[in-house]
């Protein structure tokens, strides 16, 4: 179905570009932060069998997972506040003008222990945005291949974003940041979480309407440029929730 954004531009909802990673109960499910793979198990109690394969009438499974450590998720400032605010209350709308950009992290000494890290820098972010204001930014990091759908990031010191990038996001009006890494911050930083705090301005000026979505996967077939982003989020009353961000190409632009 076509939806016109103006007289010339439209999106086709029959052509979605899903940039989420599915949650599965296998060792190939992506994970981070020392968590074990997700567990899907049928309820088996008081004679009830929650598995058709095991003789039950229905499949009725418990699922054990961690939103932050098991795939695509969206989080709000409640991730770093004493009071656990809910991401379910942070988003009041679900469609946004978005830019997809591709960046290769630079090798640079980090601010934590002065060792070499792969860091997304402010100057590279500015160049990639090309002066375009948008509500949401989708960041694809290089190298980019299908292995991102199965990686265990624990103790691998993945790439992350320099805190100075927050100034750029604010300059371009970006409230929703999506990236294909397990965190915007360094895996080991002594608990500083400097990017998270700067992005949400916690505690000095909390930004309740901003979100960060981590562990997406943007296939190479999706070109850099402008899109409409639909944010599908499970309505968990929690600081983070599994999510399914979907892009729509803008035709006629």
Identify whether 144 is part of a domain.
Answer: yes
Task: Please check whether residue 38 lies inside any domain of the structure.
Answer: no
> Per residue in 168-220, pLDDT tens?
999 999 999 999 999 999 999 999 999 999 999 999 999 999 999 999 999 99
- What DSSP string describes 204-243? TS--TT-EEEES----TTS-SEEEEEEEEE---SSSEEEE
DSSP string, 7-65: SS-EEETTS-EE------SSTTS-B-TTPPPPEEEE-EETTEE--GGGT-SS--EEEE-
Give exposure, 126-135, as e/b (b: 16+ Cβ within 10 Å).
eebbeeeebb
Q: Is residue 8 part of a domain?
A: no
**Domain annotation covers residue 9:** no
Q: What is this structure's pTM?
A: 0.96
Domain with residue 80: its CATH number is 3.50.30.50
What Rg, from alpha-carbon coordinates, does the chain have?
Answer: 19
Number of domains forming the structure of the chain: 1
Over the stretch 83-115, which tens digit does the pLDDT of each residue have? 989 999 998 899 999 999 999 999 999 888 899
Let me know if residue 185 belongs to a domain.
Answer: yes
Find the domain containing 205 and state its range. 15-24+68-249
Per-residue pLDDT of 16-75, as tens digits, reads 999 999 999 999 999 999 999 999 999 999 999 999 999 999 999 999 999 999 999 999
**Residue 230 within a domain:** yes
């Amino acid at each position: 179905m076509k939806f016109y954004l103006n007289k010339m531009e439209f999106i086709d909802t029959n052509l979605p570009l899903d940039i989420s990673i599915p949650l599965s109960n296998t060792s190939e499910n992506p994970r981070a932060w020392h968590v074990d793979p997700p567990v899907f198990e049928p309820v088996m109690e008081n004679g009830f069998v929650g598995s058709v394969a095991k003789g039950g009438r229905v499949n009725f499974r418990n699922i054990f997972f961690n939103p932050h450590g098991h795939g695509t998720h969206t989080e709000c400032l409640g991730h770093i506040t004493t009071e656990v605010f809910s991401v379910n209350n942070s988003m009041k709308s679900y469609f946004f003008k978005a830019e997809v950009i591709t960046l290769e992290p630079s090798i640079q000494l980090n601010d934590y222990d002065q060792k070499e890290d792969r860091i997304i820098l402010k100057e590279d972010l500015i160049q990639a945005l090309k002066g375009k204001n948008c509500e949401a930014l989708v960041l694809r990091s290089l190298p980019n291949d299908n292995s991102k759908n199965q990686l265990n990031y624990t103790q691998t010191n993945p790439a992350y974003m320099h805190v100075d990038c927050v100034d750029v996001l604010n300059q371009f009006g970006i409230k929703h940041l999506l990236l294909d890494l397990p965190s915007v911050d360094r895996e080991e930083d002594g608990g500083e979480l400097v990017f998270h705090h700067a992005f949400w301005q916690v505690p000095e000026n909390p930004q309740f309407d901003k979100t960060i979505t981590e562990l997406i996967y943007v296939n190479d077939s999706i070109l850099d440029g402008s899109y409409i982003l639909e944010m599908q989020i499970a309505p968990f009353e929690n600081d983070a929730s599994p999510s399914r961000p979907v892009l729509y190409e803008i035709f006629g632009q």
